[in-house]
Amino acid sequence: MVKVLGIESSCDETGIAIYDTEQGLIADTLYSQIELHRQYGGVVPELASRDHLRRIIPLIDECLAQAKCLLNDLDALAYTAGPGLNGALLIGASIANSIGFANKLPIIPIHHLEGHLLSPLLADDKPNPPFIALLASGGHSQLIAVKAIGEYQLLGDTLDDAAGEAFDKTAKMLGLPYPGGRYIAELAALGHENYKLPRPMLHSGDLTMSFSGLKTAVLTLINNLTEQNITIEGQVLQDIARSIEESITDVLVKKSVMALKQTQIRTLVVSGGVSANLRLREKLDLELAKIQAKAFYPPLRLCTDNGAMIALAGAIRFKQQKFTYDFSVHPRWDLTTLASN
């Protein structure tokens, strides 16, 4: 049995969790900085770092109390070492190593995207490698072939905006709050696809994606409607939101199916914030059933950044435990450079 406390502080959520290899996830606490950054329309790195510093120790205490255990009951600590915001990463790294040093606990640096990639293992229905991973978030839209934990091959990436970024930026154009993906989805559920928007690179023949053209198309649509004295509210707003959601999810689904066919793998793991989009899940399940494939998703509450995925990844990589307490963070870090477990 291995019990690991995970610390996630790569961006605008402070997540702490404890994962037990026998009992599963036994404690999970999270503080979101959305309200802090909303007035700026996006994450302010310096404010994010300061807020992590304020929240992280109380959240660790809360998590330990929730699990009814002490630091001495842990076998290791895991923390997000990158990619992410440099200052925010340093907060989690320094706290983890300080606690580890003081309590003689091993420290395990974790790749943020590997945490997301493994997060479906926290669901009741768990995938087994090999599988294709679709990582779709505000910063990433990638398709990765996973032969085993730690053996990753990048198959496709986005040339510009990520899917989550496209949701957020188009939502901002429509006057919706930050982060916009959730609000687009809520409106889309009441709308119709009455505005045909582009599906960039849908028929490119490869697994490369692009979403910046969609952003431009939405801006053009808004300007055209405004010139026609059409107010962007009510049903019009809902229809635009539905059109945006259909465009983004069509691209993600088409590229995912292509990746499965090209590799002849029949298991897809979907993770990252965009994996919470119910329309994406609906379309993937429908299309994958046609090719006798299956998609696996994290629990909805664990789609965005969280400590649970870091604790889980730490438990899986426990035998690579670190005792030196030397640490560094990697704001940019290629997932495919990770060594296998």
pLDDT value of residue 182 = 94
State yes or no: pLDDT of 340 exceeds 70.
no
State yes or no: pLDDT of 341 exceeds 70.
no
DSSP 62-131: HHHHHHT--GGG-SEEEEEEESS-HHHHHHHHHHHHHHHHHHT--EEEEEHHHHHHHGGGGSSS---SSE
Go through the domains of the chain in sequence order and give each one's CATH number.
Answer: 3-118+302-337 (3.30.420.40), 129-297 (3.30.420.40)
Over residues 265-279, the pLDDT tens digits come to 999 999 999 999 999
Mean pLDDT of the region 281-299: 98
Distances in whole angstroms, Cα of residue 56 to Cα of each of 48, 53, 59, 282: 12, 6, 5, 36
Over residues 124-159, the pLDDT tens digits come to 999 999 999 999 998 889 999 999 999 999 999 999
Reported as a pLDDT band with limits 50, 70 and 90, residue 326 is confident
Over residues 228-254, the pLDDT tens digits come to 999 999 999 999 999 999 999 999 999
Report yes or no: 109 and 93 within 8 Å, Cβ to Cβ: yes
Reported as a pLDDT band with limits 50, 70 and 90, residue 320 is confident
Contacts 24+ apart (CB under 8 A), 100-105: 100/76, 100/325, 101/325, 103/71, 103/72, 103/74, 105/71, 105/74, 105/75, 105/76, 105/77
pLDDT value of residue 272 = 96
Phi, psi of 149 (to 5 degrees): -60, 120
Report yes or no: 243 and 193 within 8 Å, Cβ to Cβ: yes
Q: What is the mean pLDDT of the chain?
A: 95
Over residues 58-105, the pLDDT tens digits come to 999 999 999 999 999 999 999 999 999 999 999 999 999 999 999 999
